[in-house]
Chain A
Amino acid sequence: MSKEIELKITIGTDGKVFVEPKGTKGEECLEIMKFLDKIEGFEVLETTPNKDMKKINYISNEWESYLSSDYNKD
């Protein structure tokens, strides 16, 4: 199913760029922003997960530990 995604990009007065994706879930955003890493002359200084990404990872980690738990194997 298709959906709309948005990149909110801020270019500071010093030329530094800040990009925030919207409409993505979990690590999908990393894939969507990958093209930025390939722009010649651009250096990614920092990639920071926000609350939503952490929440989704946290849930999936919990789910994985549940699936691999002894309780589940029984």
Chain B
Amino acid sequence: MSAYKKIQCEIVDKSFLLEALSLLGLQPELHDTPQNLKGYLNDARREKAEIIVPKEQLNNKFTKASNDIGFSWNETAKKYDFYCSEYDKAMKMDNKIYQAYVKVVLENSLAKNGYKIKVNIADEDFLKNQSHVIEISARKIV
């Protein structure tokens, strides 16, 4: 035991993002060109995205009056811009998605580096409208 690392993450990988959304039971719409997001009253918002999680899915699974959530590739920053309304942020939807994304990315990277992993919560638990701290134990022989 010797040092701790604290890490934060940007969303940069489409396949990991889709996997993370799937973990949360969300099936986003994928568009070739950015489309307007829709608000809770079905009004078109000015924000546009290629990957859109329709508000109905969010309402059914987690919230009651969501707006669409969108991801738009930012070529300059080489990352996805993450569009999430204030309401959905208050409902912690952005955090849920970040957490699921980090889990997917880390599990992939740990496996590539030869670690065997154990996770404290089952994938099914991500479908519940609860917050979890995820604990991963990764072991390998060196």
Binding site for B on A (CB under 8 A): 2-30, 32-33, 35-36, 39-50, 52-53, 56
Query: If the complex has contacts A3-B141, A18-B6, A19-B7, are A39 and B92 also in contact, measured as CB distance less than 8 A?
Result: no
Can you list 23 residue pairs at the A/B interface with Cβ under 8 Å?
A4-B139, A7-B136, A8-B135, A8-B137, A10-B135, A11-B99, A11-B135, A12-B99, A13-B99, A13-B131, A13-B133, A15-B95, A15-B102, A18-B6, A18-B7, A25-B2, A27-B2, A33-B3, A42-B9, A46-B5, A49-B2, A49-B3, A53-B3
Q: How close is B128's CB to chain A, nearest CB, in angstroms?
A: 13
Assess the A33–B5 pair: CB atoms within 8 A.
yes
Q: How close is B38's CB to chain A, nearest CB, in angstroms?
A: 25
Assess the B5–A6 pair: CB atoms within 8 A.
no
Stretch at the interface among B23-31, B50-58, B68-76, B103-111: B103-111
Chain B residues with Cβ below 8 Å from A10 are: 133-136
Q: How close is B11's CB to chain A, nearest CB, in angstroms?
A: 7
Closest chain B residue to A20 by CB distance? B4
Query: If the complex has contacts A41-B10, A41-B11, A44-B7, are A9 and B136 also in contact, measured as CB distance less than 8 A?
Result: yes
Secondary structure at chain B's binding surface: helix, strand, loop or mixed? Answer: mixed
Chain B residues with Cβ below 8 Å from A3 are: 141-142
Assess the B8–A17 pair: CB atoms within 8 A.
yes
Assess the B10–A5 pair: CB atoms within 8 A.
no
Assess the A43–B1 pair: CB atoms within 8 A.
no
Assess the B4–A14 pair: CB atoms within 8 A.
no
Assess the B102–A11 pair: CB atoms within 8 A.
yes
> CA separation between A9 and B122, bound complex, in Å?
16
Assess the A47–B3 pair: CB atoms within 8 A.
yes
> CA separation between A29 and B142, bound complex, in Å?
12
> CA separation between A20 and B7, bound complex, in Å?
12
Assess the A9–B6 pair: CB atoms within 8 A.
no
| Other-chain contact of B139, A5, A30, A43, A46 (Cβ < 8 Å) | A5
